[in-house]
Copies of this chain bind each other. A is one copy, B any other.
Amino acid sequence: MAHSDIDELIRIFSKLPGLGPRSARRVVLLLMRNREQVMKPLHITLGKALENIKTCNVCGNLDIHDPCVICSDVKRDDSVLCVVEDLADLWAIERCNLYKGKYHVLGGTLSALDDRGPSQLNIESLVTRVGAGQVKEIILATNATIEGQTTAHYITNRLNGFNVSISRLAQGIPMGGELDYLDDGTLGAALRARLPF
């Protein structure tokens, strides 16, 4: 099969997360077999997304509006700001349907290895937002990795002079987690942070 379009499609799909050359072939076959029902809608929706999706200038979220629907939602609490590394984390928190404040998407973590400093993250805009005075609480929801925690510490330092309370997500045993399978770090953290029964 020396037809570049199909090969090129397979190549692009095989680079997507969770797909390899084999599954990319299966995807492309399915697309070509369901041209009207799947391939065309995918093409159209991709085109629309490319055209419409922009970065929210307030929080760094991606949306078809700027400011995004979360930032412009008057029912959400302006005084609480949840700081996340990435869009995926924002989505994860939104899915648990519990948080009614606003967000700030950093766009990554500080990383000495990957040569990523504070200027490459949306930290300056966070300081500006906090400086505006409306924010009373910051929830640092960076990942529980070394980079995530380093970033959280850096942000805490940067927000030192402001009158905001800063909290972070609780660490402990995940729901349904079995002690036997937990790593020592998690178990230790859960033990230190034990709560009255």
| Chain A 1-43 residues near chain B, CB threshold 8 A | 1-6, 8-9, 12-13, 15-19, 23, 25-27, 29-33, 35, 38-43
A42 and B53 within 8 A (CB):
no
Q: In whole angstroms, how far apart are the Cα atoms of A18 and B43 in the complex?
A: 19
CB distance from A50 to the nearest CB of B (A): 6
| Chain A 47-64 residues near chain B, CB threshold 8 A | 47-50, 52-53, 62-64
Most buried by B among A9, A15, A18, A86: A18
- Can you list 19 residue pairs at the A/B interface with Cβ under 8 Å? A1-B63, A3-B63, A5-B45, A5-B48, A6-B62, A9-B45, A9-B46, A12-B41, A12-B45, A15-B38, A18-B18, A18-B19, A19-B19, A19-B27, A25-B88, A31-B46, A31-B49, A32-B49, A39-B49
The 3 closest A-B pairs by CB, nearest first: A18-B23, A43-B46, A5-B49
Report A's interface with B, CB cutoff 8 A. Answer: 1-6, 8-9, 12-13, 15-19, 23, 25-27, 29-33, 35, 38-43, 45-50, 52-53, 62-65, 69-70, 86-88, 91, 94
